[in-house]
Amino acid sequence: MNPNLPTTAGIKLLHTPGPTHVPDLVRNAMSAQPFDLNDPRLTAVIENCERGLQRLLNTQHANVMMYTANGHGAWEAAIVNLLPPGGKVLVAGSGHFSETWAQAAEGCGAHAIRTEARAGSPIDPGLVEAALRADKAHEIVAVFAVQTDTSTGVTSDIHAVRQAIDRAQHPALFVVDVVASLAATRFEMDAWGVNVAIGASQKALMLPPGMSFTAVDEKALSAARNNPTPRVYWDWNLRKSPIGYRKFCGTPPESHLMGLEVSLQLIEREGHEAVFARHLRISRAVHAAVERWGEHGALWLMTKDPAARSTSITAIGVREGIDPTEIYTLARERFHVALAGGLGPHSGKVFRIGHLGDINEAMILGCLAGVEATLRLMNVPIGDGALERAVAVLNAHMPPVR
């Protein structure tokens, strides 16, 4: 028998913070036949994706450049375009993702300076300001910051980081990773003075993994023009072309683009504000449930400050002796709910629930019920009434029926 055939009835609920559930309309669009490379319809799809991403990023002028690569590819694009060999970058500490981005910069030959990251705490703008003030010679070329660090589910105040750069009167470019936050919470590229934003397909943009992008303003493009680091595929100035084949340094990822065009339409039809409000409402329901589960001290929310908890993902710490691998394996195999484990220093100590993208109330209640069933099957001592709390929070924040 084909081992890929499903062995159970019903659907699997995918609740990782990427990949996320892909809407049927997006999957259908992705199954269309490819265009020939000169078809004006392909040009139109690419332009619709660029314009839609600009609107979501709240930028008028930044150039959207997309890659047939995951988010790590887009990280590398920012690194090799902006940082000269041995060049300095200040990476604002937020968690595992800021740390691995710093390591990627070092792997490309740059010199990464980090501000301290405290698990579950947002970026400290004061530390960014101090590090920039200490750089009297203005050797730091760029500040890298992650809006939502997916390892702990913490969201940082990106505007406050920009203000810290301005207070230090430092000319560094500001580069922000919005991979886990774009379309789940507000991002204001122009108003917050962000020079480069980085995103990927498989989070709140509701596509399968395999595509990423950078949005690059004129200041960053001109810095890239003067940067001698060798690169071809990632080169922003080579990609600045009206021709699709040049924009992608080769054949565009047509299926992903056809999917992205539809997912951006879905987001706009619902309305950006409504999409963010839905994410906030659902994330609050998750937090309320986890707080109830944690009443006996067996588990807890990693991000203590409610204002810093992301609308995309919730990371849950577990007491020693409770194995997150067992939690997510049982949840997947017994209850058909797919969760994520801990990353980096949190491996073996944390499990994570993704609640971003194509998600509604029924889906999150199904997910929470599956997690509760798993925890009870494992005899983890948890508080009663978590699902009731989640329902109450959802109902308290429900928009009117139209």
Ligand X SMILES: *Cc1c(COP(=O)(O)O)cnc(C)c1O
Interaction site with ligand X (CB under 6 A): 18, 70-72, 97, 146, 148, 150, 177, 179-180, 200, 209
Helix (H) / strand (E) element for 112: namely: strand 111-114
Give least dist CB 145 to ligand X, A. 10
Give least dist CB 306 to ligand X, A. 20
Q: Residue 104: CB partners within 8 Å, gap ≥ 6?
A: 72, 75, 76, 79
- Where helices occur in 60-192 by DSSP H, the ranges are 71-82, 96-107, 125-134, 158-167
Torsion over CA of 8, 10, 16 and 19, rounded to 10 degrees? 100
- Which is closer to ligand X, CB of 140 or CB of 179? 179
- Which is closer to ligand X, CB of 54 or CB of 150? 150
Query: To 5 degrees, how large is the angle CA 148–CA 150–CA 154?
Result: 50
- Which is closer to ligand X, CB of 79 or CB of 322? 79
Give least dist CB 282 to ligand X, A. 18
Give least dist CB 98 to ligand X, A. 9
- Which is closer to ligand X, CB of 71 or CB of 357? 71
Q: Residue 154: CB partners within 8 Å, gap ≥ 6?
A: 94, 95, 120, 121, 122, 148, 302, 303, 308, 309, 310
CA–CA dist 34, 402 (Å, integer): 38
CA–CA dist 113, 19 (Å, integer): 30
CA–CA dist 339, 361 (Å, integer): 17
Give least dist CB 331 to ligand X, A. 20
- Which is closer to ligand X, CB of 152 or CB of 374? 152
- Which is closer to ligand X, CB of 35 or CB of 192? 192
Q: Give the number of other CB atoms < 10 A from CB of residue 101.
A: 28
- Which is closer to ligand X, CB of 256 or CB of 389? 256
Give least dist CB 79 to ligand X, A. 13
Give least dist CB 91 to ligand X, A. 12
Sign of the alpha-carbon dihedral angle for 143, 122, 169, 195: positive
Q: Pairing mode, if any, of strands 173-177 and 196-200?
A: parallel
Q: Give the number of other CB atoms < 10 A from CB of residue 304.
A: 11
CA–CA dist 305, 311 (Å, integer): 13
Give least dist CB 3 to ligand X, A. 26
- Which is closer to ligand X, CB of 123 or CB of 386? 123
Please identify the residue of the shown chain whose CB is closest to the bound ligand X.
71
Give least dist CB 220 to ligand X, A. 19
Look up residue 196 and give its amino acid: V
CA–CA dist 91, 142 (Å, integer): 8
Q: Using an 8 Å Cβ cutoff, are 195 and 217 in contact?
A: yes
- Which is closer to ligand X, CB of 18 or CB of 324? 18
- Which is closer to ligand X, CB of 308 or CB of 387? 308
Give least dist CB 77 to ligand X, A. 12
